[in-house]
Structure 1
Amino acid sequence: MKFSALLTSAGINVAVCVVCVSLYSILRKQPMNWSVYFGRRLSQESPRRSHSVCFQRFIPSPSWILKAWETPEAEILAVGGLDAVVFLRIILFSLRIFSVAAFMGIFLVLPVNYHGQEMHQDRIQSESLEVFTIGNVKLGSKWLWAHCLALYIISFTACLLLYFEYNSIANMRLAHIRTSLPNPRHFSVLVRAIPWSPEESYSDSLKKVFKKYHGANYLGHQMVYHRGTVQKLLTETWKLCKMLSSDKVRDRLNILQCTLCSSTSDSFRVLSDEPESMNGKSPSREREISSNAKETPAAFVFFKTRYAADIAANVILSTNPMSWVTNYAPEPHDVYWSNLSIPFGQLWLRKIITLLAAIVFMFLFLIPVTFVQGLTQLDQLQYSLPFLRGILKEKYMNQLVTGYLPSVILLLFLYTVPPTMMFFAVIEGSISRSGRKRSACHKILYFTIWNVFFVNILSGSVLRQLDALSTPKEIPTQLARAVPAQATFFMTYVLTSGWASLSSELMQPMVLIWNWFKRVILRQKDDMVPYSFPYHTEVPRVLLLGFIGFIFSVLAPLIVLLLLVYFFLAYLVYRNQILNVYITKYESGGLLWPTVHKTLVFSLVFMQITALCVFGLKNSKSAVSFTIPLVVCTMLFNEYCRQRFYPIFKNTSAQILIEMDQEDERSGRMEQIHQDLQKAYNQITLKSQDLHKPTQLSRPSPTRSDERRIGPERDQGS
């Protein structure tokens, strides 16, 4: 690929970003779009809306950028929780390490790459991008010490930054646990695989066993029911009553009756408020449904203290590990109820099935990847499709097809991956919504790293030389040649998948179109329900781009400049979205970071191994000998972090739990906590609340900046 093709791709993506950012700064000022761009703040504050026409509403302004930049991390923590802070820390870490990599690459590595061959250099615009990679350095060059030095500096800086980040986030997690409000999940344990007995029910068996082994701390339990058709009727009832309880419809139906809810129109008013069970009452409807429901071999068991619940969750209760299985309970609104009825013995089979399905999906994805790589190789494309030869002779079409189109097509196919992996996570049997998202996040991460990086490397370079792979010894050599050769494709991928995806995240095009459709076509004036941050899609995207950046930071440093722009824009865009758009439905307490740390260390090690293979290909024995200790040291660093910090994310220390229990005893809150536990995991009530309104965690009181008006009037200075 020519350098001019990269400039064409960059120009297109810059133009798209500028247009989208300008449109966003205008659209966010229109009152009808506030539910799209200020969903979180609308759900938590009472706005004073102004529909007056103002000239400033139609002029782009950068005020949202200043607000996103100036907001302190403490406010991000109060608004989005620790998970949001951890996600932004990933981007901040990437900014820091790639700033170092860019400095080393531009001033040390890039000149060596460009002047690696003793040949006449053309104008930079006419140069092939391969002259900026390590592939342009001649065999046995003494200047490869520059690449080795850059590799050492980047690796040691990355490890140092990772240590400080792991330590900081671990301390933030401990502080989050200490200062968190009393939560039912702290006192609850989920018990599954309760053995069936013909003499007594699941509930009686559970009560007998836990009184026997945890008698001093056992408080009570709540069975999980499988209601089938009854639950479907209840769901439809709540949906119908919610629709009929809206102001517009209620005014027209004051004299109508709803046999599903009650006999008078007043029932619409009752059901539009909080359910009775939220006020400590138990409606007869819930008792009737529970009495007719079928118990499943699963239950939530409540304990008097946090420490007792933690002990029960980690102790094997039976000599048969497949029965009386105990786990930490999710938060009440985080429970994925439909998966609790899955027999525990099926889970291992479901995991195998989802693994096989993911592998099949991975092989099916080879088709679009191979097609995309065909577009980057015009000689093969013209040979296979002779009718394109005339079109591809045009300079602009050549640059468009090789520099922009491949990454766009790959990006479109990648949009099918998140919903597919989310479906696999549901089939796998996740018991919580947050667990389902974490499982989908892991699957998407592994899938994208394999298919976007490794498959593109193989299909783009190695498969062209199958005749050279007759012996296994040639595989490392060919891979060492393949990685630098594919740097040009990944530069365009960063531009398209990175820069363009941020424009889409900012604009929210699908949500915006649906909002307009509701208001203009359906004539519905109610605001859209805000949704939670899509960690399962955004975390893999950020980590994948970081992985690509590490691999090519020494081999092809031009890509680092593109990544720096992406991470800087991502820092602003995601802070803005967390502050204004997304709500926090549940909090994992930063459980994402161990996965992030392992992925970043894997990126470091693979960067070092790739560089080692390239040094061997370039016949530089000294560079190879200096790189091997670096790989060993990085692995030892990862093992130290795993021993030092990972237990904090896996379990909660007994010291913290006992101190929190003692504090609640001294303050007199423990009795009220025990009373609230009896209704915390009411399956019917929680289902109804999920339909009635979005759930949120208890948060600290809003900061002074959150008490101002909602909407872009603040941006306009009015």
Structure 2
Amino acid sequence: MILSALLTSVGINLGLCLLFFTLYSILKKQPGNLTVYAPRLVAERKLRQISDFNLERLLPSAGWVKKAWDLSEDELLENSGLDGVVFMRIFTFSLKVFAVAAIIGVSILLPINFLGSQLDVDFSDLPNKSLDSFSISNVNNGSNRLWIHFCAAYVFTGAVCYLLYYEYKLISLKRIAFFYGSQPLAHQFTVLVRGIPVLSGSSFSENIDNFFRDYHPHTYLSHTIVRRTTKLQQLMDDANKLYRTVAQMKSDEHTSQRSRYNGFLGFFGTRDRHLHTLEKRLEVMEDNMRMEQFSLHEKEVPAAFVSFKSRYGAAIALHIQQGINPTEWVTEPAPEPDDVYWPFFSTSYLRRRICKLVVFVASALLTILFLIPVVVVQGLTHLEQLENYFPFLRSILTITFVSQVITGYLPSLILQLFLSFIPPIMKMLSSIQGYISMSEIQKSACNKVLWFTIWNIFFANVLSGSALSQVNVFLEPKKVPTLLAQAVPAQASFFISYVLTSGWTSLSSELFQLVTLICSFLKRIFSREEIDDLEVPTIPYESEVPRILFFLLLGITYFFLAPLILPFLLVYFCMGYLIFRNQLLNVYAPKYETGGKYWPIVHNSTIFSLVLMHIIAIGIFGLKELPLASSLCIPLPILTLLFNEYCRNRFLPLFKAYAAECLIKKDREEQNDPRMTEFLEKVMTAYQDPALKPGQYSRNTDTQTSPLLNSTQI
């Protein structure tokens, strides 16, 4: 890519950002768009619609920027939980990293690269010169100036490791403080028990009650057996849809028009008759639901949520093997009641293993198939290849502006469109992998999307072309640094454009919420939207965290190779910091809490990025005929991995489970609290399957209030 093509891409993306910001500042003031731009505040009754017209509503403003900036971390913790705080700490951590990188890269390395003569840059025709002129490729082979790059790699690695240690320690302390400051929660007193053995003449429920009364007599509280409710849940979903249809018809403003027909082409059946038919169907459906509910005592699953009187009692049951046979009485942490993913409790052990294999194969196939759009994108970045494949485009491609748009903007846009389908697919695959909580599904999808992005967007792009034909190079590890050193700098211009399109424009579209705006507009036209039915979205960690970490990888990898990318990344992280603070304040609301467990993913990804940078540095100094610098870079990845091992031993256990010191201290604080008795009574029923709750659809009040199963059956 030439410099003028980059400037064209910057102009297009900057224009889109300004357009989205302007439209957002106007549209968010309109009363009809409150459910789009502030659904959280509307659902919490903190914001109400004002229908009075005033001219200010039509003028753009930047007041949202000040509100987002003034939001303190304590307020963020109260509004979005520790997960929201950790998510924003990714931005602050990245800003610190690239502030250091920009000081070194832009002020020192970039001038050195540009003043090199390896590529014979013509200063008189700078706009038509390749961006490689700003990369390390332009530094003369064997030049002593390369030692500045060598020193920069060591200094930058030390700075990133220090920031990583500081953040890991800080978030660990915040996690403990968050635990101490939290109210008693059901999942802190509960464990999930699988592999309950079958004893003749007794049910799973009786077995688990007898076992824990014998071996945990002082701490055992109660248990909730898991049942197969897949069929019942399907019936409930159908009943919910039908109930919403009936409710919508009753609330329709034109219900009073008795003569209005609602049958086929308006000729058969009045609206009242149709409504009566739907109500009858709803009553029959509810009867079927209750018949299925009463038969659930025969559909027990060898799994149960077992609750204890203290957190320490639950921790003992969790971390100590319960039975002689390690495949029986298997315990694992219980998620929050609202976080439980019920469908997979009904599956057998064999089916879970098969599903894991299917997910692995599906992920591999998806990764391979995604190479097709990658190859298409790479063809667009090289006009000569495009002209060879499509000769009829030759006359169009000679137009300067068209060629600049195709090479500077279109490739990353196409790749971004294809990539937008990956997070929901990965989340769907994770949901059938056997996880019992939605937060674990989201974390698993986050990891899948991250490594999919790293492989398909980074490696597939840098290794495309001749490098992929040399498959045997991957069988010789010694050649990998050289291969990466040749391929990675050549794709610097593409990734700068990718930061602009997938970074700047995607962030501004996140603020603008175009899809949600269109859906809300259509809903207002074709149906009535009630505030009570408003569903407040949660932040899509499975797509946003991998995107941020991928940009972090690009910045670390290209820090000394092509420091021209650093200013664009700094702008991205500054925008992201403000935009997502605004979104967490107005749009997204947490449904469950992991306690900051996304940070180990951030740490591991950063370590991987550093090691990748070191491997490329070893190869690039070898190619630049500076073998001593290449050899002296070998300790860098070793020291980084040793640092990572120390952090894993020092901090990671705090993210897996709380220490006995924390649990006992918290239990003692609440030991004499009179509210604990009421709380423990709620814990006993906290993990009841939602499918077992009484139906509330028909007009029969007896069926609405009667329990589906007796408490003794639970």
- In the superposition, the TM-score normalised over structure 2's length comes to 0.89
1:576-587 → structure 2 map (5 Å cutoff): 576-587=582-593
State the distance in 2 between where 1:674 and 1:617 align: 67
Distance change in 2, residues 1:469/1:417 (3 Å) = closer
Instruction: Say whether 1:236 aligns with 2:241.
Output: no
State the distance in 1 between where 2:344 and 2:646 align: 37
State the distance in 1 between where 2:528 and 2:691 align: 31
Contact 1:375 1:406 in 2 (8 A): yes
Distance change in 2, residues 1:159/1:556 (3 Å) = same
Contact 1:238 1:688 in 2 (8 A): no
State the one-letter code of the partner of 1:201. S
Aligned positions, number: 672
Distance change in 2, residues 1:286/1:461 (3 Å) = same
Instruction: Say whether 1:314 aligns with 2:319.
Output: yes
Could you tell me which residue of structure 1 aligns to residue 86 of structure 2?
A: 86
State the distance in 2 between where 1:468 and 1:589 align: 43
Q: Secondary structure of the residue that 1:300 maps to in structure 2?
A: strand
Could you tell me which residue of structure 2 aligns to residue 427 of structure 1?
A: 432
Q: Secondary structure of the residue that 1:630 maps to in structure 2?
A: helix
Distance change in 2, residues 1:52/1:460 (3 Å) = farther
State the distance in 2 between where 1:635 and 1:472 align: 18
1:599-638 → structure 2 map (5 Å cutoff): 599-638=605-644
Distance change in 2, residues 1:373/1:288 (3 Å) = closer
Instruction: Say whether 1:335 aligns with 2:340.
Output: yes
Could you tell me which residue of structure 1 aligns to residue 259 of structure 2?
A: none
State the distance in 2 between where 1:245 and 1:310 align: 46
Instruction: Say whether 1:59 aligns with 2:59.
Output: yes
Could you tell me which residue of structure 1 aligns to residue 413 of structure 2?
A: 408
Q: CA shift at 1:5, angstroms?
A: 0.6
Higher normalized contact order (CA 8 Å, seq sep 6+, divided by chain length): 1
From 114, 120, 127, the counterpart of 1:125: 127
Q: CA shift at 1:548, angstroms?
A: 0.7
Q: CA shift at 1:464, angstroms?
A: 7.7
Contact 2:5 2:407 in 1 (8 A): yes
* Cα offsets for 1:20-72 (capped at 9, x unmatched): 11001111001111011111111112534211111110111000011111111
State the distance in 2 between where 1:327 and 1:562 align: 44
**RMSD across aligned positions (CA):** 2.7
Q: CA shift at 1:689, angstroms?
A: 11
State the distance in 2 between where 1:151 and 1:652 align: 37
State the distance in 1 between where 2:340 and 2:658 align: 20
Instruction: Say whether 1:544 aligns with 2:550.
Output: yes
Contact 1:191 1:299 in 2 (8 A): yes
Q: Secondary structure of the residue that 2:559 maps to in structure 1?
A: helix
Q: CA shift at 1:468, angstroms?
A: 9.7
From 481, 496, 500, the counterpart of 2:501: 496
1:73-472 → structure 2 map (5 Å cutoff): 73-117=73-117, 119=120, 121-122=122-123, 123-241=125-243, 244=246, 249=251, 258=279, 289=294, 291=296, 294-460=299-465, 462-463=467-468
State the distance in 2 between where 1:191 and 1:457 align: 47
State the distance in 2 between where 1:292 and 1:663 align: 39
Distance change in 2, residues 1:260/1:203 (3 Å) = farther
State the one-letter code of the partner of 1:491. I
State the distance in 2 between where 1:12 and 1:687 align: 54
State the one-letter code of the partner of 1:558. L
Q: CA shift at 1:156, angstroms?
A: 1.1
Q: Secondary structure of the residue that 2:303 maps to in structure 1?
A: strand
State the distance in 2 between where 1:46 and 1:610 align: 52
Could you tell me which residue of structure 2 aligns to residue 281 of structure 1?
A: none
1:638-649 → structure 2 map (5 Å cutoff): 638-649=644-655
State the distance in 1 between where 2:475 and 2:356 align: 36
Could you tell me which residue of structure 2 aligns to residue 528 of structure 1?
A: 534
State the distance in 2 between where 1:475 and 1:415 align: 30
From 679, 700, 709, the counterpart of 1:673: 679
Contact 2:20 2:508 in 1 (8 A): yes
Could you tell me which residue of structure 1 aligns to residue 703 of structure 2?
A: none
Contact 2:4 2:128 in 1 (8 A): yes
Distance change in 2, residues 1:570/1:59 (3 Å) = same
Could you tell me which residue of structure 2 aligns to residue 707 of structure 1?
A: none
Q: CA shift at 1:287, angstroms?
A: 11
Could you tell me which residue of structure 2 aligns to residue 49 of structure 1?
A: 49
- Between 22-31 and 119-128, report the one with greater CA deviation: 119-128
Contact 2:191 2:333 in 1 (8 A): yes
State the distance in 2 between where 1:450 and 1:213 align: 49
- Between 640-649 and 659-668, report the one with greater CA deviation: 659-668
Distance change in 2, residues 1:336/1:469 (3 Å) = closer
Contact 2:42 2:48 in 1 (8 A): no
Contact 2:190 2:305 in 1 (8 A): yes
- Between 284-293 and 327-336, report the one with greater CA deviation: 284-293
State the distance in 1 between where 2:677 and 2:252 align: 41
Instruction: Say whether 1:566 aligns with 2:572.
Output: yes
* Cα offsets for 1:106-149 (capped at 9, x unmatched): 12111111122164532332221111111111211111011112
- Between 192-201 and 429-438, report the one with greater CA deviation: 192-201
Could you tell me which residue of structure 2 aligns to residue 512 of structure 1?
A: 517
Distance change in 2, residues 1:686/1:627 (3 Å) = farther
* Cα offsets for 1:467-523 (capped at 9, x unmatched): 999988655423211111110110111111101110121111111111000102334
Contact 1:461 1:486 in 2 (8 A): no
Could you tell me which residue of structure 2 aligns to residue 30 of structure 1?
A: 30
- Between 673-682 and 251-260, report the one with greater CA deviation: 251-260
State the one-letter code of the partner of 1:28. K
Contact 2:485 2:616 in 1 (8 A): yes
Contact 1:332 1:686 in 2 (8 A): no
Q: CA shift at 1:634, angstroms?
A: 1.4
Contact 1:235 1:688 in 2 (8 A): no
Q: CA shift at 1:636, angstroms?
A: 1.6
Distance change in 2, residues 1:14/1:321 (3 Å) = same
Could you tell me which residue of structure 2 aligns to residue 279 of structure 1?
A: none
Q: CA shift at 1:244, angstroms?
A: 4.4
Q: Secondary structure of the residue that 1:586 maps to in structure 2?
A: coil
Distance change in 2, residues 1:660/1:345 (3 Å) = farther
State the distance in 2 between where 1:686 and 1:533 align: 29
Q: CA shift at 1:230, angstroms?
A: 3.2
Q: Secondary structure of the residue that 1:667 maps to in structure 2?
A: coil
Contact 2:121 2:129 in 1 (8 A): no
* Percentage identity across paired residues of the two chains: 45
* Cα offsets for 1:220-278 (capped at 9, x unmatched): 11111113433332333344445545796299699979557779xxx9xxxxxxxxxxx
Distance change in 2, residues 1:688/1:246 (3 Å) = farther
Q: CA shift at 1:324, angstroms?
A: 1.9
Could you tell me which residue of structure 1 aligns to residue 656 of structure 2?
A: 650
Q: Any gaps of 5 or more consecutive residues in structure 2?
A: 257-271, 698-714
Distance change in 2, residues 1:121/1:187 (3 Å) = same
State the one-letter code of the partner of 1:430. Y
From 560, 571, 575, the counterpart of 2:581: 575
State the distance in 2 between where 1:228 and 1:418 align: 25
Contact 1:95 1:564 in 2 (8 A): yes
Q: Any gaps of 5 or more consecutive residues in structure 1?
A: 268-283, 692-718
State the distance in 2 between where 1:361 and 1:618 align: 37
State the distance in 2 between where 1:262 and 1:376 align: 62
* Cα offsets for 1:526-560 (capped at 9, x unmatched): 56311111111100000001101100010000001
Q: Secondary structure of the residue that 2:672 maps to in structure 1?
A: helix
State the distance in 2 between where 1:120 and 1:20 align: 38
Q: CA shift at 1:685, angstroms?
A: 6.4
State the one-letter code of the partner of 1:643. N
